[in-house]
Copies of this chain bind each other. A is one copy, B any other.
Amino acid sequence: SVNPDLASERQTASFCVEKLTALLDGGAEQTRIRRAVVEAIQSDPVFSRENQYFQTQNERYEAAVMKAVHLQKKMHEMGWTENGPEYKYIYRALSGDVAFLLHRVFMRSISVLGSDKQIAKWIPLATQHQLIGSYAQTELGHGTYLQGLETTAVFDITTQEFILNTPKISAMKWWPGDMGRSATHTVVFAQLYIHGKCYGIHPFIVQIRSLQDHSLCPGITAGDIGPKMNFEHIDNGYLMLKNVRVPRDNMLSKFCEVRPDGTYVRQGSQKINYFTMTTVRISLISDEVLTPLMKACTIAIRYSAVRRQSKLKPGEQEAKILDYQTQQEKLLPQLAAVYAFHFINDYLQELFNRGYREIQRKNFDMLPELHALSSGFKAVITHHCTAAVEICLRACGGHGYSLLSGLPSLYTKILASCIYEGENTILLLQTARFLIKCFMAASTGQPVPPSVTYLAAEKPGKCPAKNKLDFLHPDIYTEAYQHVAVRLISSTATKLQDLIQSGVKKYDAWNQCTVQLVQAAKAHCHYITVKNFAETVETLETKAGIQRIMKHLCDLFALHGIFSNTGAFLHDGYISAAQMDMVTASYLDLLAVIRKDAVPLVDAFDFTDESLNSALGSYDGQVYQRLYEWAQKSPTNKMSPAYERYLKPLLHNTLSKL
């Protein structure tokens, strides 16, 4: 039985939920395939996540290994392949709760960096899981700055081997997933030395555990790095190498080779490799960032339609907390952000597909733009969505703080996305470097990539809005965002030039501008997101209310961004104080409009109760019943030795006194 407070929310939807689901999936056929995968996975008890919140790190790891092994069978049984249409839904259906994810990175690195001979040798073994691979790049003392890695690989011409070493503790490999306990092999990135000369970082396949009994190989010290904020199911590991010898053939040699006589040879273009690293940043957006935020919105909004607190009107029943303006202001902008980033993700995917086709034709012109976009959007979207999940968690009060709500684990997991695959601040500065370069080029009339042509078309002007309804015109707010992006990029470029001209060294000047460069890069991404959302709305079908509700969300996303960052728009008077008051009025009006469709909008994400794994977010809204049922299953409700040991001696003397 569905909680009547939730049921009533569904009766007044202004649009067709099923049509919106299909839009998000990319068509009704995709929805059908996704549901079939979800059904197959969730009906299989091996994949159950029922006790997840009660498990220790060891139990989580063991379950993840079990699931990974079982998944191989399941895929075979279902006829799913890694290239099939079902594949992208499997990970989502499992909520990522599975081991051997780095095994795929191991395979990809061999495919991309290995010679044909190496691919022929290793990929079939890896495909059949006859070894378990990992990817050992990050070190205790070295992350984003790859040139700083300290692990060494010295070529020994007499034995035709590389000798790998961890020269000091900061050079220990640290964090590689699947390496702490599972992996038998890994790709180790190390500084290559031949005849005492350093040739920089290269990848080497290294066996770390015996295939016979899984014991560590000679010279290998490895283990698990211990507890983390999340990812308990993954054995992130450490690795020390002491005179570990691998044959010459184990250096991945598509681009660089060491000949038997010690000659070092570079071959081909590595640019395709940079492109691969760039696409990883885009590929994580959907599974690791948007899906968790969709779940958090579903949980928090359903709960807010069921939870009642205080009286809004005297004499009436306590009000649904979703009816409070402050609660709407917390949750609805996050919902709008989901859609904004969903559409920008589509845009980026398409752009990268186009880039890939160009690169295959040996045209690398798009690379700088793709690199800048992937860096900037990875940072902006992970940051925004992490903050949004936290807002959802806090908006559920005490119950949001219980692991059983599902929100804490969504938060602690999405948080990592701000750090891995490039720390966000560093990524934004890479985007900023591209923007400054393009701005300089544009201002001297040189051609620039499509996404930054707007930098050449700087118009000073003022926002033409005359009343609050004008701020519901996409042209009005999109131009405001564009104006701010241009202003921040150009003013920071000017500051940078002024500093350099005043005699400050180039690198010092750059460092002194970085806080503002980060702001400029964010403004660029924010502008493109708003513009893309508005353009996408134009293309949507007008039937079934889809376009109308998406238009509302687009407006909300844009106005929320202005409302939360008024200074950027007020600074040079592009938006006046009176206009900003109109923005505020339109923004607050929109909250009340979208509130009516809030529950149908999260229903459209189409999560099953199993995949939400939340006592607050279930489709039926039976929150209190579920919290109570789950709590009773907690291991903390088993007998504890604390009573006999500590409490009984304390209380033994009381009976006579009471």
- Give the CA-CA distance A418 to B390 in the complex, in Å: 12
- Contact flag A650-B129 (CB < 8 Å), given A145-B309, A318-B145, A636-B224: yes
CB pair A140 B588 closer than 8 Å: no
B647 touches A223 (CB 8 A): no
Cα–Cα, bound, A398→B421 (Å) = 11
Complex contact A181–B642 (CB within 8 A): yes
A577 within 8 A of B: yes
- A625 pairs with B169, CB closer than 8 A: yes
Whether B226 contacts A634 by the Cβ 8 Å rule is yes
A182 contact from B184, B318, B326, B642, Cβ within 8 A: B642
Q: Mark A132-157, 1 if CB is under 8 A from B, else 0.
A: 10000010111111001000000000
Contact with B along A623-635 (1 / 0, CB 8 A): 0110110111111
Within 8 A of B (CB), among A578-612: 580, 584, 588
List of B residues within 8 angstroms of A573 by Cβ: 577
Cα–Cα, bound, A567→B654 (Å): 63
Task: Name A35-79 residues within 8 Å CB distance of B.
Answer: 53-54, 56-58, 61-62, 65-66, 68-69
Residue pair B403, A408 in contact (C-beta under 8 Å): no
Q: Which of A111-119, A195-203, A467-475, A506-514 contacts B (4 or more CB under 8 A)?
A: A506-514
Contact (Cβ within 8 A) A624 B169: yes
Q: Is the interface of A mostly helix, strand, loop or mixed?
A: helix
- The interface stretch among A7-15, A227-235, A349-357, A369-377 is A227-235
Interface residues in A342-390 (C-beta closer than 8 Å to B)? 390
Give A513-530 as 1s and 0s: 1 = Cβ < 8 Å from B's Cβ atoms: 111101000000000000
Q: Please tell me if the beta carbons of B140 and A628 are within 8 angstroms of each other in the complex.
A: yes
In chain A, residues 455-499, which have Cβ atoms closer than 8 Å to a Cβ of chain B?
A: none
Q: Are B643 and A214 in contact (CB under 8 A)?
A: yes
Q: Are B420 and A398 in contact (CB under 8 A)?
A: yes
Contact A637 B567 (CB under 8 A): no
Q: A148-B310, A212-B655 are in contact. Are A325 and B514 (CB under 8 A)?
A: yes
Give the residues from 637 to 658 in chain A that come closer than 8 angstroms, CB to CB, to chain B: 637-638, 640-643, 645-651, 653-655, 657-658
In chain A, residues 303-362, which have Cβ atoms closer than 8 Å to a Cβ of chain B? 307-310, 312-314, 318, 323-327, 329-330
Bitwise interface map of A from 403 to 444 toward B, beta carbon under 8 Å scored 1, else 0: 110001000100110111001011001000000000000000
Which residues on the B side are within 8 Å of A58 (C-beta)?
635-636, 638, 640
Chain B residues positioned under 8 Å from A57 (CB to CB): 634-636
A504 to chain B, nearest CB (A): 12
Asked if A565 is at the interface of the complex by the 8 Å CB criterion, the answer is yes
Which of A404, A516, A572, A658 gathers most chain B CB within 10 Å?
A: A658
The CA of A410 and the CA of B272, in the complex, are separated in Å by 43
- The answer, yes or no, to whether A22 is at the interface (CB within 8 Å) is no
Closest residue to A408 on the B side, CB-wise? B229
Contacts of A264 in B (CB 8 A): none
Which of B130, B169, B309, B567 interacts with A657 by CB under 8 Å?
B130
Residues of B within 8 A of A403 (CB): 226-229
Complex CA distance for A412 and B394, rounded to whole angstroms: 12
Distance of A572 Cα from B570 Cα, bound (Å) = 10
Q: Are B326 and A515 in contact (CB under 8 A)?
A: yes
- Cβ contact within 8 Å between B226 and A398: no
Closest to A420 in B: B398
Contact A142:B512 (CB < 8 A) given known A651-B130, A654-B125, A658-B125: no
Contact across chains for A56 and B53 when beta carbons are under 8 A apart: no
Docked complex Cα distance between A140 and B405 (Å): 13
Q: Is A175 an interface residue (CB 8 A)?
A: yes
Do the beta carbons of B625 and A310 come within 8 Å of each other? no
Q: Decide if A131 is an interface residue (CB 8 Å cutoff).
A: yes
Q: Which of B61, B148, B416 contacts A642 (CB 8 A)?
A: B61
A266 at the interface (CB under 8 A from B): no
Q: How far is the CA of A651 from the CA of B588 in the complex (A)?
A: 60
Chain B nearest Cβ from A148, distance in angstroms: 6
Chain B nearest CB, measured from A594 CB (Å): 14
| Chain B, Cβ-Cβ closest to A182 | B647
The answer to whether the Cβ of A127 comes within 8 Å of any Cβ in the partner chain is: no
Chain B contacts for A655, CB-based, 8 A: 211-212
Question: From residue A56, how far is it (CB to closest CB) to chain B in Å?
Answer: 6
State whether the Cβ of A543 lies closer than 8 Å to any Cβ in chain B.
no
Measured CB to CB, the nearest residue on chain B to A231 is B401
Q: Tell me whether A170 is interfacial, beta carbon within 8 Å.
A: yes
Chain B residues, Cβ within 8 Å of A426: 310
| Complex contacts, A511 vs chain B, CB 8 Å | 312, 323-325
Contact of A172 among B69, B327, B628 (CB under 8 A): B628
Quick check: A641 and B62 within 8 Å, CB to CB? Answer: yes
Instruction: Please tell me if the beta carbons of B588 and A647 are within 8 angstroms of each other in the complex.
Output: no
Contact yes or no, A138 B651, CB < 8 A? no
Chain A residues numbered 550-590 whose CB sits less than 8 Å from any CB in chain B = 565-573, 577, 580, 584, 588
- Closest Cβ–Cβ distance, residue A450 to chain B (whole Å): 29
Confirm or deny: A180 has a beta carbon within 8 angstroms of a beta carbon on chain B. yes
The residue on B at minimum CB distance from A207 is B658
| Least CB separation from A585: chain B residue | B495
Q: Is A402 among interface residues, defined by CB-CB distance under 8 A?
A: yes
Measured between beta carbons, the chain B residues less than 8 angstroms from A651 are: 130-132, 184, 211, 214
Does A101 lie at the interface of the complex (its beta carbon under 8 Å from any beta carbon of B)? no
Query: Known pairs A61-B640, A226-B404, A401-B419. 16 more at Cβ < 8 A?
Result: A56-B635, A62-B641, A132-B647, A145-B309, A169-B624, A169-B625, A180-B636, A181-B636, A214-B648, A226-B637, A229-B401, A312-B507, A313-B508, A324-B514, A566-B568, A567-B568
Task: Sample 28 A-B pairs with CB under 8 A, ordered by A number.
Answer: A69-B646, A129-B650, A130-B651, A131-B651, A132-B651, A141-B308, A144-B309, A148-B308, A169-B624, A172-B628, A175-B398, A211-B654, A214-B647, A223-B632, A225-B402, A226-B633, A227-B403, A227-B636, A229-B402, A310-B426, A312-B507, A323-B511, A397-B423, A401-B415, A401-B416, A412-B412, A567-B569, A567-B570
- Ranked nearest first, the 4 interchain pairs of A and B with the lowest CB-CB distance are A566-B567, A226-B634, A567-B567, A130-B654
